[in-house]
Amino acid sequence: MRRIMTRRGYGLPSRFRQGWRYAWHICALLAGFAWSSSAQAACQQNPGGTAPSGQAYDRYNSTLFQVAVRPQQTTIALPPRVTAGELLFSTQETPLPFLGDTRSQGQAAPVYGCPAGTIERFDGNGALMGNNLYATGVPGIGYRVYYYISDTDSRPAPVEYANPYKAGVMVFPFNGAHQLGTNLRTRIDFIATGDAIVPGTISAGSIFGRASLTGGGAISTAPLYRVFLAESIRITPPTCSVSNSAALTVQLPGLPVHMLQRGEGMGITTANLELACSSPSDVSPSIKITPTNPVTGYPATLSNLETGSQSARGVGIQVWLADPVTGQYRHARFGEVENGMGASLEGLPSSRWLFRVGASYLQVEPTVTAGKVRAGAVLTFTYN
């Protein structure tokens, strides 16, 4: 895929240019079975074949590049008012296709021989609202879909790639080639627009980003790259909400590796969550903690979500919940509805409740390396 890529008039970082030169070299050979020394008037489909060098390439694999991303929850309760630009929730991150050998990398190239001026675009569906957001159909919520995400970069729609060459090859991002990266992935974020959020359903059929080709002449080809929401998401009104939302982020102190390995410095960092409910009750709302990334074999422990060279290895985050009667912390019971864990802040019946949670480091592998640690869980409060 040898092309100079621009997005809104800005050139991509130089580290991508080398990668695209590599991909162009591959695809120029791919196109060799139908290569002409004169400029092509239109893009040509890639049916697979053998290049003059003798290297065989697979045909474009349309199915492989229809990438489904799944929501972490299909029913989400949201408050009516949140800050504009706030991340509300995201889908799971999904790896892009892995094409390990040279032959299979042809599956990422739908067309070749495209004339100069051919444009590939990647756009979301629905009205573009600014700040890379598209309308979801639910007031107050927009979505952002990514062409790709790497360890150091991301490209949300809309993006545009222009071909300056006489015979260019369009190649979609994939894992497996060193120059293209080995940890490319995608996801969809759902963002507050600043308008009041109205309960409704975000329909899977209307939330997607897809590639299109213009200026390459008339050509009929299999569906191009598409990232789409696999399941619809129902937005419901809350019965309770956390009034001090900043407490939902627990910042653990830095800890030297040697202390962790000696079992030191593993104290619990606590946070007090204040829950405000729409009506008073004599009993505490229940709480359920759903891990996004549990560590098997360790109670109430989350694995590190950080990736790349700066991430820590061999360490997890253990989650704690305090008993309001004894004041003692114990391991959270992931996935279980736990009753009676809130303490009234105003006497009974109460509409304000305090939940005390905590987090601590835990060694989960024999070898620990220093770096960043990040983990997360979903807290679900049910009003009784």
* pLDDT over 90 at 288, yes or no: yes
Angle at 18 between CA 107 and CA 171, to 5 degrees: 20
| Residues 227-235, mean pLDDT to the nearest whole number | 98
Q: What percent of the chain has pLDDT over 70?
A: 86
Determine the Cα–Cα distance for residues 309 and 379; give it in Å rounded to an integer.
30
Q: What is the CA radius of gyration of the chain?
A: 25
Q: Is the alpha carbon torsion for 157, 163, 164, 169 positive or negative?
A: positive
Residue 124, pLDDT above cutoff 90: yes
d(CA 7, CA 253): 39
Hunting for tokens 């029913």 — which residue is that?
75
Q: Which residues contact 355 (CB under 8 A, 6 or more apart)?
A: 272, 273, 275, 287, 321, 322, 341, 342, 343, 381
Let me know how many helices (H) and strands (E) the chain has, helices first: 2, 33
Write down the architecture of domain 240-382 according to CATH: Sandwich (2.60)
Phi/psi for 23 (5° steps) reads: -65, -35
Among the listed residues 303, 284, 280, 272, the one whose alpha carbon sits nearest the alpha carbon of residue 376: 303
Q: What is the residue-averaged pLDDT of the chain?
A: 85
240-382 and 4-236 share a CATH fold:
yes
Average pLDDT over residues 362-384: 91
Per-residue confidence (pLDDT) for residue 15, from 0 to 100: 20
Write out the two tokens for 12.
């991509």
- The listed range with the strongest mean pLDDT (6-10, 225-229, 264-268) is 225-229
Confidence of residue 2 (pLDDT cuts 50, 70, 90): very low
Q: Is the pLDDT of residue 39 over 80?
A: no
Average pLDDT over residues 276-297: 88
Quick check: helix, strand or coil at residue 246? Answer: helix
CATH code of the region 4-236: 2.60.40.3310
Average pLDDT over residues 318-345: 96
What pLDDT sits at residue 241? 86
Q: Answer for the pair 150, 181: CB distance below 8 angstroms, yes or no.
A: yes
111, 204 Cβ separation under 8 angstroms = no
Least confident of 16-20, 122-126, 193-197, 356-360: 16-20
**pLDDT above 50 for 28:** no
User: For the chain, which residues make up each domain, given as ranges?
Assistant: 4-236, 240-382
The label of the residue with tokens 């985050």 reads 317
